[in-house]
Amino acid sequence: MSRQIGWFGLGSMGLGMALNLQKHLQAQGQPALHYSNRSLGKGRSLQDAGALPEKDFESLVRASDIIFTMVGVHLLQEGQILTIPEISTDDVLNDLVSKTLSSDASLDGKILVDTSTIHPDTSASAAERLAERGATFIASPVFGASPVAAAGKLIFAMAGPASALETVKPYTLDVMGRSIINMGEDVRKSSLLKICGNILVISFMEILSEAHVFAEKTALGSSQLEEFVANMFGPVLESYSSRITSGSYAPPLLHQGGSPPGFAAALACKDMRHALNIAEAHGTSLPTTEVAYSRLTRAREFAGEWLDSAAMYGTARQEAGLEFWNGASRRGNE
């Protein structure tokens, strides 16, 4: 039996994921995707592809059997000032769960699949609250940037009841993602893997930042270092290196023709705080993450919020007596 699929969250990741899902449903002759977003206008391309808009999240819940969510917080711009809202991704998801529970529709058998990066305790709370009304929560954070999402090649770390995982698998594997890592029934495990994955990503960026500053100070040269990184470690680490050498660590502002940073420094700091707090609670430490967090925090204090998670490179440059900005980045907030 065909199930009605819903989608909420059309940011840089969510839109690409939702488009791939709608194309799959259409190709399989299944009912069109229903979608909603805080700003429905962002779904114009999704509507053009045949998906159906819902005015709000409550309406989406009523209309759908399975609801995927990809939520987050975004940089706000007022004139030339860029800020981060005083809410977190966890706050947004908790609000959506509350709206689901306040719905006048029956929730028996409904499945909520969250693909965002949230704290393990938030996942556990969502699962417990929804279960009380007969609904199921699946924690399924994804690995990959927005171009990977658009290409349908994300990695899903999925946890929840086994039967529910099997139900959503056909809408995920080879649709929005290239693989699924089955994390079992404990939804905390998916969130922990995502946080651990971000420890690796941030640590790679920290080490690459240090290596590039070393290459510049010794006149070795960044281009030769990046060529070595590509040949030795492959395209993933090469792409991380490119975020430094291309200047993407401090991209142009909107009024300069720039685009939002791929992984905003503020969000990376939020994920690092989660990681550091969890590590401390379990009697271990993350020294590289601590250095990266300190440098990225100082980068935000110096250059504002329009920074990528690779901006610890700018701080490392300053510590070595160089300018925060390299030749390819913006030159400040002008």
CATH 1.10.1040.10 range(s) for the chain read 192-319
Per-residue confidence (pLDDT) for residue 209, from 0 to 100: 98
The kind and range of the H/E element at 24 are helix 14-27
CATH 3.40.50.720 range(s) for the chain read 5-185
CATH of domain 5-185: 3.40.50.720
∠123-127-128 over CA atoms, to 5°? Answer: 120
Q: For the stretch 56-80, what's the b/e string if a residue is b when 16 or more beta carbons lie within 10 angstroms of its beta carbon? A: ebbbbbebbebbbbbbbbebeeeee
Residue among 78, 82, 92, 77 nearest 8 (CA): 92
CATH 1.10.1040.10 assigned to domain 192-319? The reply is yes
- Averages of pLDDT over runs of 10 residues in the chain (334 residues) are 91 93 97 94 94 96 96 59 63 94 90 95 97 97 91 97 97 97 97 95 97 97 96 95 95 78 86 94 97 97 92 98 94 56
CB 123 within 8 A of CB 94: no
Whole-prediction pTM value?
0.89
Per-residue confidence (pLDDT) for residue 253, from 0 to 100: 80
